[in-house]
Amino acid sequence: MDSKNSSKVKKIGVVGVGSFGTAIANMLAEKSAVIVYARKSEVVDEINSLHQTQGRNLNPAIRATNNPQEICAQCEILFFMVPSSGFQEVTRNFAPYLHPYHLIIHGTKGLCLDLPAGQDLKTVQKIKRSQILTMSEVIQRETVAVRVGCLAGPNLSKELIKGQPAATVIASKYNEVILEGQRLLRSDRFQVYGNSDIIGVELSGVLKNIIAIASGALAGLGLGENAKGLLISRGMVEMVHLSTALGGGVQSVIGLAGIGDLVATCNSVDSRNFTVGYRLAKGEKLDQILADMEEVAEGINTVKIIKAFLETTDLRAPITENLHRVLFEDFEIEEALQFLMKFPFSVDVDFV
């Protein structure tokens, strides 16, 4: 680390205080002085005076600010815990105050797009890989930060907040990032693994959200554990092919950030993506579901992005394609399921 402030106690910064950001801030506060960033001044006041936000308690030692310059000046290590929809904007707001000595680990399971002016996800039909940005690619494009990492795995926020046992993967091209993340987060209740394939880990966390929506739909239809086992196993195969096409490795998908997170999310009523699928299967419309969700279900945008990416490849991803039809083309869930049951898969595993 940079030695200019070595005589002072180093603070760790957490950018974003949604459910996951709150959980990570509390875990970091067990070992370190923590300062969190929230955009709204009323949220900052609530944290500093009441030590809570949106009904979630924060460690009383945690302090909040809405000043990017302040948090960047006080913290050399920052955890970015911002929804993908606002990630690029927040990164740009922080960019003037970030230096090459800053170390950034993000925990966002989503994708951003680099599209020509005037185009957005509603209007574009085809998207190339070069137009799709993982969060680490956003950080590297928008800032001078070099040492960038990603935190991913079966990390349902409600369980982390309760202190239930869990594990995560910190992925980075830089071993120092992995070691720092392990030092800061590892505890008796939280195991932290390392992985050098940051793109593969990011993509695993993104792609599993698609399968989680489908799993929620199966549960909503009451179709049982055999069907769920089929979906999860075929979903993992689809994740492998998509991740490989997008530049990730197979090993990351069959590790904690892939299959580990997939199993947890496909079985949890606490997963926002699972909940979307469940409510769709019960007859609710997507707009209605999104209107009363407190936080973003990242899988919805991911389905759109991957469907547009598929249009530029010769790859087939039947779960993603049929989920797109259900979410955006008024296709009945039961018909999508019938399509999947009849899809001519002939080989069980074809990627090893």
**CATH number, residue 219:** 1.10.1040.10
**pLDDT band, residue 120 (cuts 50/70/90):** confident
Q: Domain of residue 45: give its range.
A: 11-111+130-196
Same domain for 27 and 171, yes or no, is: yes
Distance CA 282, CA 279 (A): 5
Domain total for the chain? 2
The answer to the question of residue 4 being in a domain is no
Strongest mean pLDDT among 3-7, 28-32, 222-226, 291-295: 28-32
What's the whole-number mean pLDDT along residues 44-52?
96
**pLDDT band, residue 309 (cuts 50/70/90):** very high
Same domain for 137 and 58, yes or no, is: yes
Same domain for 255 and 232, yes or no, is: yes
The answer to the question of residue 254 being in a domain is yes
122 catalytic? Reply is no
Q: Give the model's pLDDT for residue 352.
A: 54
CATH number of the domain where residue 83 is located: 3.40.50.720
- Domain final residue, candidates 145, 177, 196: 196
What digits encode the pLDDT tens for the residues 67-96? 999 999 999 999 999 999 899 999 999 999
Distance CA 46, CA 7 (A): 31
Instruction: With H, G, I as helix, E, B as strand and everything else as coil, classify residue 295.
Output: coil
**pLDDT band, residue 8 (cuts 50/70/90):** low
Q: Give the model's pLDDT for residue 28.
A: 97
Same domain for 74 and 172, yes or no, is: yes
Catalytic residue among 10, 40, 128, 208: 208
What digits encode the pLDDT tens for the residues 146-205? 999 999 999 989 899 899 999 999 999 999 999 999 999 999 999 999 999 999 999 999
Side chain identity at residue 319, one-letter code: I
CA distances from 18 to 21, 58, 162, 311, 316 (A): 5, 12, 15, 34, 35
Q: Is residue 14 scored above 50 in pLDDT?
A: yes
Q: What is the mean pLDDT of the chain?
A: 92
Same domain for 162 and 225, yes or no, is: no
**pLDDT band, residue 345 (cuts 50/70/90):** low
CA torsion 142-148-154-157 (nearest 10°) is: -60
Distance CA 21, CA 108 (A): 10
**pLDDT band, residue 131 (cuts 50/70/90):** very high
What's the whole-number mean pLDDT along residues 3-17?
73
What's the distance, CA 151 to chain centroid? 8
* 298 in Cβ contact with 206 (< 8 Å): yes
Q: Give the model's pLDDT for residue 188.
A: 94
Same domain for 22 and 92, yes or no, is: yes
Q: Is residue 2 scored above 50 in pLDDT?
A: no
